[in-house]
Amino acid sequence: MKFEYPDKSWKDYELIDSGNFEKLERFGGYVMARPEPKALWDKTLSSTEWDRMIHTRFTPGAGFGKAGKEDSGTWSRQKKMDDQWYIRYSGAQKGLDFSLRLGLTSFKHVGVFPEQAPNWEYIYSRTKELVAKAKAEGAPVPKVLNMFAYTGAASLAAKAAGADVTHLDSVRQVVTWARGNMENSRMDGIRWIIEDALKFARREARRGNTYQGIILDPPAYGHGPDGEKWKLDECLYEMLKCVSAILAPKDSFMVLNLYSNGYSAMLGETLVKQAVAGAADSEIESGELCLSDRTGKVLPLSIFVRLKR
């Protein structure tokens, strides 16, 4: 199992400290405190030091801890800051560079999950390989599908590598957010779809459409634009079987990311091996995506499974 972290060359993000079920982070020029249930240890810095740095702090609301509402709450500003601001991701690889707009939402999120940076690096690297091979063989540009795509960092990584990218999410507002990120990154040509992911995958399978890259980052709970219900435990295996039907049988890759506290890397790897046809003949790696604060405390935040063939 692998443990991966954002490259230290990324200057616009830093985990400053963590502990007592909170994390202290810097996004660009702003520092914020957010709840973090995995930060079981003590803070290294004092409360006074935290307060001195913080621009804003997220306070959980009445729904905190309830399924589907566990992240709801409010922000309290302690210093002047913009409602929206931009950070840049300049990756460890030349050419992987894009802009992300951030903002304070009612669900403690700000528009990016920084621990995902290693996945962006993998998506960019693998997509570049496929694009180069297609060009050498005179084949069509590889197609990459990003499902549950949120504000589009993974979509931008694939696009920067030269792929034909489809970005799918069920929430219109975040698709609009992602489009803005594309435009501010001086990219174009991404295909935007607002739809339930499982419904879309089933339809693509019926049509016989395939993709050379598929990225999945499903939530624990969610709803499609027409009220379709998503519950990770009940839907993930079926989703992976649908993905198996639309993933190209060769020269392709899949990235699965999972945030649910009850999921391990081995569980995710077993799911992929059982659901995806040809997995036994594919390269599969799994592990955890982590952040490390200034004093070296490691905060594991999600698990990943990557399949390459």
Taking only the tens place, the pLDDT of each residue in 111-142 is 999 999 999 999 999 999 999 999 999 999 99
How many C-beta atoms lie closer than 10 Å to residue 28's C-beta? 15
- Summarize the confidence of residues 200-218 as an average pLDDT: 97
How many C-beta atoms lie closer than 10 Å to residue 13's C-beta? 18
Question: What is the pLDDT, as a whole number, of residue 70?
Answer: 54
241 vs 67, more confident: 241
pTM for this predicted structure: 0.95
21 Rama class: left (phi>0) / alpha (psi -120 to 50) / beta: left
How many C-beta atoms lie closer than 10 Å to residue 138's C-beta? 6
SS3 state at 222: strand
Q: How confident is the model at residue 225 (pLDDT cuts 50, 70, 90)?
A: confident
What stretch of H or E contains 272?
A: helix 265-275
- Summarize the confidence of residues 44-68 as an average pLDDT: 84
Question: What is the pLDDT, as a whole number, of residue 262?
Answer: 80
Of the candidates 133, 153, 151, 150, the residue with the CA atom closest to the CA atom of residue 141 = 133
* Distance set, CA 87 to CA 10, 27, 104, 125, 253 (Å): 10, 7, 14, 22, 28
Please answer whether residues 191 and 184 qualify as being in contact, where contact means their C-beta atoms are separated by less than 8 angstroms.
no
DSSP 4-46: E---TT-TTEEEEEEETTEEEEEETTEEEEEE-TT--S--SS-
Domains located in the chain, CATH noted: 6-103 (2.60.40.1180), 114-308 (3.40.50.150)
How many C-beta atoms lie closer than 10 Å to residue 208's C-beta? 8
Of the candidates 102, 117, 71, the residue with the CA atom closest to the CA atom of residue 257 = 117
User: Mean of the per-residue pLDDT values for the chain?
Assistant: 94
End-to-end CA distance of the chain: 19
